[in-house]
Amino acid sequence: MATSDAMHQQTRSLSSPRSIPAHAPRARAEFAAVPTNFYRDMVRGMRNGTVAITREGRVAVFNEEAYRILGLSPQPDDIGRHFSQVLGPRSEIVRLFANAFDVAHLPSRAEMRLKDSGRVIGYTLSIVRGERGSANGAALFFKDLTRVEQLEERERLRDRLAALGEMAAAIAHEVKNPLAGIEVMAGLLKRRVPDDPDTQSLLHDIIQEAKMANAIVIEVLEFVRPIRLQVDHVSLAEVIDDSIRMAESLVPRGTVRVDRLLPTDLPRLEADGHQLRQLFTNLATNAFEALNGYGRLSIRAWESADEDRPGDSPSIVVELKDDGPGIPEEVRDRVFSPFFTTKPRGSGLGLAIVRKIVDAHEGRIDLSVEPTGGTTFRLVLPTRPTDHEEATGA
């Protein structure tokens, strides 16, 4: 394998006595006491990404975790090449090494976001010094903090939801009764003027608008109410089929093609079937609206071990991908926020409810948009959440 070849090449230099200067007898004695493969195994087994370069800028160490986090493919000749050639697609890392020997204070416990992948890494950059204190190279140690940031953002979102929920509930209760009164009185007035078409039309519009406003109020009240899961063994395929039919009843599907790639051997979820139907109905409805009657919606799922839940039951990964116009970059970070919408008559609660239901099932949801257009929602749902009793949400 390319990774093994690169690791062997980089640790061969670490384990060679010729790499120890002749004026360093203590270092030579310490080295002799360490097994030859120790440094290779240490670097390879690190759970942090590790990249080191020489003073001349040649790559000396590049472990497997570094390749994974940076999204790079290992090549047999990476060790010994200039770091700018190996790290070319990761311009942020290239800049770090380019300035490593020119700055007085190197970053320690800093964070950065990799532009192409969106990953967040925490890193420390250190100078590798020889026995006499001379700078022989630089080493970068880093860890993928993307999941940590997502959890922190989720907590921040929950705090915002709690505050918004209290305010929205108070407003909704105050608005609900007057809206019902408007609708009733408009209906009574409509019966008194059966022979006036213009008045009939105006009163009809008033009633429809009042119903729409009342529906939004009900949606707000549903949103701020804590979710209490009614758990059962649920078939994902049945849930998705029901959700597609429900979405079709809400939004015209037109000629949109729906591809379902759902293995027949998927394990059942211990979940709330009603809540999951609402979740997938909201996502399918959004896709149909974005496609505007044309295009394709692809839904696929597979079983996967969840690296964030080691030792727990496996998870089901579900991807819903459409080939519509996509979501503008400037609003992607806000699509799950309550009351945010780009639709002229939307309530802004559809995706917020989706996130809330996913959280209640101890899952997670991510959004990605292709450069050429199209939106992908990726959900990870544990087959058996650890706690079904507590509700998550506002």
Res 334: pLDDT: 84
CB 375 within 8 A of CB 296: no
Lowest mean pLDDT among 88-97, 146-155, 321-330, 369-378: 146-155
Question: Mind listing the pLDDT tens digit for each residue in 319-343?
Answer: 999 999 988 888 888 888 777 777 7
Give me the pLDDT at residue 313, please: 74
| pLDDT, tens digit, 9 for 90 and up, residues 218-274 | 777 777 777 888 999 999 999 999 999 999 999 999 999 999 999 999 999 999 999
Is the pLDDT at 392 greater than 50? The verdict is no
Q: What is the pLDDT of residue 149?
A: 75
Say how far apart CA 330 and CA 333 lie, in whole Å: 7
Place of tokens 């949103």: 223
Two tokens at 197? 């078409």
pLDDT of 200 above 80: yes
Q: Residues 9-28: what's their mean pLDDT?
A: 49
| Whole-number CA gyration radius for the chain | 29
What is the model's pLDDT at position 32?
Answer: 62
Could you give all domains of the chain from N- to C-terminal order, each with its CATH number? 2-144 (3.30.450.20), 148-225 (1.10.287), 229-394 (3.30.565.10)
Confidence grade of residue 344 (pLDDT, cut at 50, 70, 90):
low
Note the pLDDT tens digit of each residue in 23-78: 455 555 555 667 767 877 787 778 889 999 999 999 999 998 999 889 898 998 99
238 class by beta-carbon count within 10 Å (0-12 exposed, 13-18 middle, 19+ buried): middle
pLDDT in tens, 100-126: 888 878 888 888 888 877 788 899 999
As a whole number, the mean pLDDT across the chain is 82
Q: Could you read off the pLDDT of 172-183 as tens digits, one per residue?
A: 778 878 888 888
> For residue 89, which of 102, 103, 75, 100 has the smallest C-alpha distance?
75
pTM value is: 0.58
Q: What angle do CA 48, 49, 51 make, to 5 degrees?
A: 135
Q: How distant, in Å, are the alpha carbons of 127, 175, 335 from that of 215?
A: 62, 12, 21
Query: 231 near 388, Cβ under 8 Å?
Result: yes
